[in-house]
Structure 1
Amino acid sequence: MELIYPINCVGHDEWMQSGYDPRLSKGEVVTRDGEVIGTWRVVGYDPASECSSGQFEFTANGDDAVKFTEGFAMLDVRPSQGLALSKLSSTIREWYEANNGEIS
């Protein structure tokens, strides 16, 4: 698996390609170096409605509670979803780098 971003939500593309199957709405969050730092998931959406809103969540390894969230307005509007995922990834990266040093 190619990890091209500093923070990668593994399985996100498969979830989108599946038509937003709830069984695929989660995965690992991995740094470019291959370090698994937590999990992502999507909640609060209706896979049968392309106009459904929802929320990405990030839970860090070792934590039981969700650490960061980012909502999106419409499930099947890529800019809405993409902006939310980008914001969440940036927040995760800032948190990770503040605690572990810069991601190469």
Structure 2
Amino acid sequence: MPLPYKINLIDHERWISSGYNRSFAWGLVRNASTKELGFWRVVRYNPNLDTEGGCYEFSLERTGSAIVSEEFSFLDSEINRSAALSEFVAKIENWEKNPNS
């Protein structure tokens, strides 16, 4: 069954609903046809410090080097989170179309 978006961050909502628990700050990345592309994760984010940001990263392996990343600040701000996620998934989509660039 196809997924709803061109790029889908599996378990991202679980991370948010957990209160940004670090244990849930990662998941699979799948395209609309459910092909597994790699993993997303959040690094350098402390949910107890609302004055600092962090970084979304995409890699081919769960703990591998980041291929794509997007910095964010104040993740609890829905506007900032939406903007960072939009840029992040756009970068992954571009990588999927041009993996060697």
Structure 1-normalised TM-score?
A: 0.85
| SS of structure 2 residue aligned to 1:46 | coil
CA deviation vs aligned residue, 1:36-89 (integer Å, no higher than 9, x gap) = 10000001011112333111000025x931101101111211111111111010
**CA RMSD of the aligned region, Å?**
2.0
| SS of structure 1 residue aligned to 2:5 | coil
**What amino acid sits opposite 1:8 in the alignment?**
N
- Number of matched residues? 99
- For residues 46 and 95 of structure 1, what CA distance do their matches in structure 2 show? 28
| SS of structure 2 residue aligned to 1:52 | coil
1:46 is aligned to 46
- For residues 43 and 22 of structure 1, what CA distance do their matches in structure 2 show? 9
| SS of structure 1 residue aligned to 2:98 | helix
1:27 is aligned to 27
- Determine if contact 2:2/2:34 at 8 Å carries over to the other structure: no
Q: Which runs of 5+ in 2 are unaligned?
A: none
Q: Which runs of 5+ in 1 are unaligned?
A: 100-104
Structure 2-normalised TM-score?
A: 0.88
- For residues 49 and 2 of structure 2, what CA distance do their matches in structure 1 show? 31
1:89 and 2:95 correspond: no
2:98 is aligned to 98
| SS of structure 1 residue aligned to 2:82 | helix
**Could you tell me how far 1:29 is from its partner in structure 2?**
0.3
Q: Does 1 or 2 have the higher relative contact order (CA < 8 Å, sep 6+)?
A: 1
- For residues 74 and 35 of structure 1, what CA distance do their matches in structure 2 show? 31
